[in-house]
Amino acid sequence: MRHLLSAADLSREQATLVLDTAAEMAHLTGGRAVKKLPTLRGRTVVNLFFEDSTRTRTSFELAAKRLSADVVNFSAKGSSLSKGESLKDTALTLAAMGADAVVVRHSASGAPHRLAHSGWIRANVINAGDGTHEHPTQALLDAFTMRNHLGELDGRRIAIVGDVLHSRVARSNVLLLRTLGAEVTLVAPPTLLPVGVGAWPCEVSYELDPVLAKSDAVMMLRVQRERMNAAFFPSAREYSRRYGLDARRFGLLPDDALVLHPGPMNRGMEITADVADSERSVIVEQVTNGVYVRMAVLYLLLAGGEAEAAS
């Protein structure tokens, strides 16, 4: 595989390879004086961010640097992207500069796919979030974090709660967790579920309480106020009363269940502060693991030559 565009592109074997490689990356750079590997020396990784992002961009930047690649950041603010340059012209510019990999975030679903298959550029393309479509490395780091605590995810029950409609994280997670054999339940008000969710490989529930009792992990999604251009629920208070994870609901979870959140959190909205800071919350760990998972993806996509070239 040359690109990572969707969590659905990964077979179970490939997904497991990414997670195992990430585990080895964690092991290699975790407690060591020199947290750097020479593997991608001389390669250039471009972070092309048409949408704001702090943690994903920083995480990719750190991952690429840990593997000794050169990193160039292009963000919408303060660049030609904000002057209305088209995706094609941006791609041609990056190709002319000799980018080996492009990590792209775009508000339009499908932009990374267009970039990968247009013929504009030969670089490996990694989707770092496109519109409301997918965010595959987030799903991988979530799976990696859960696997560290729960062991293999086959048969594990995972609840994904909140704004599924606008969430690329939810879609990528459903696809990847299904590939890994987990049973996923989406919990959201009907207005925050996408059309056709019935065809997704998961269960759907409008009620949170009954789902929590039988979940090995619960993933709270951020309420995306910036995408709330219509009234999806009557008020913020009503939303947190019905779908927020507070101390009472936390008590319904099995004793060893995990709490995840892709960040950034709206404390008091979808998750209360005491739950977010509890011992079973792995939210900070998710950030650390993001670097290892992205190192694994960059290594597997970029380090080898192409099979055709070798033979």
Partner 1 sequence: MPSPVSRVGSPTRDLTGSRPVLEAPEISRALTRMAHELVERNKGAADLVLLGIPSRGVPLARRLAERIAAAEGHPIPVGALDVTMYRDDLRLRPARALEHTDIPPGGVDGKIVVLVDDVLFSGRTVRAALTALDDVGRPRAVRLAVLVDRGHRELPIRADHVGKNIPTSMRESVKVLLDEVDGHDAVLIGSEEGVA
Determine whether 135 is an active site residue.
yes
Q: Are strands 183-187 and 70-75 parallel, antiparallel or unpaired?
A: unpaired
CB 67 within 8 A of CB 91: no
User: How many CB atoms are located within 10 Å of the residue 83 CB?
Assistant: 6
Q: Which of 125, 175, 202, 302 lies at the binding interface for partner 1 (CB under 8 A)?
A: 302
Q: Which of 105, 156, 171, 261 is catalytic?
A: 105
CA dist., res. 106 & res. 90, Å (int)? 13
305 binds partner 1 (CB under 8 A): yes
Comparing CA positions, the residue from 298, 223, 46, 19 lying closest to residue 139 is 19
Q: Which region, judged by CB under 8 A, interacts with partner 1, from 82-90, 144-152, 165-173, 298-306?
A: 298-306
Helical spans, DSSP H, in the chain: 12-29, 55-66, 87-96, 111-117, 136-150, 168-179, 209-212, 236-243, 247-252, 273-276, 283-298, 307-310
256 binds partner 1 (CB under 8 A): no
CB 173 within 8 A of CB 184: yes
Burial pattern 291-302, b for ≥16 Cβ within 10 A else e, equals bbbbbbbbbbbb
Q: Which of 8, 16, 73, 254 lies at the binding interface for partner 1 (CB under 8 A)?
A: 16
Comparing CA positions, the residue from 175, 158, 156 lying closest to residue 221 is 158
CA dist., res. 85 & res. 116, Å (int)? 18
Q: Which region, judged by CB under 8 A, interacts with partner 1, from 31-39, 81-89, 201-209, 218-226?
A: 31-39
Q: Which of 199, 230, 231, 310 lies at the binding interface for partner 1 (CB under 8 A)?
A: 310
Contact string 34-53 vs partner 1 (x = CB under 8 A): x-xxxx--------------
CA dist., res. 124 & res. 112, Å (int)? 10
Cα 92 from chain centre: 27
Shortest Cβ distance from residue 22 to partner 1 (Å)?
A: 10
73 binds partner 1 (CB under 8 A): no
CA dist., res. 203 & res. 188, Å (int)? 11
Classify residue 89 as left (phi > 0), alpha (psi -120 to 50) or beta: alpha
Contact string 133-172 vs partner 1 (x = CB under 8 A): ----------------------------------------
- Which CB, 95 or 300, lies closer to partner 1? 300
Determine whether 122 is an active site residue.
no
Q: Which region, judged by CB under 8 A, interacts with partner 1, from 25-33, 56-64, 115-123, 134-142?
A: 25-33
Q: Which of 5, 7, 18, 169 lies at the binding interface for partner 1 (CB under 8 A)?
A: 18
Shortest Cβ distance from residue 252 to partner 1 (Å)?
A: 39
Determine whether 105 is an active site residue.
yes
Determine whether 83 is an active site residue.
yes
First vs last C-alpha separation in the chain:
17
Q: Which region, judged by CB under 8 A, interacts with partner 1, from 33-41, 45-53, 243-251, 286-294?
A: 33-41
8 binds partner 1 (CB under 8 A): no
Q: Which region, judged by CB under 8 A, interacts with partner 1, from 128-136, 194-202, 223-231, 302-310?
A: 302-310
4 binds partner 1 (CB under 8 A): yes
CA dist., res. 86 & res. 92, Å (int)? 10
Contacting residues toward partner 1, per CB under 8 A: 1, 4, 10, 13-14, 16-18, 20-21, 24-25, 27-28, 32-34, 36-39, 299-307, 309-310
Catalytic site positions: 55-56, 83, 105, 135
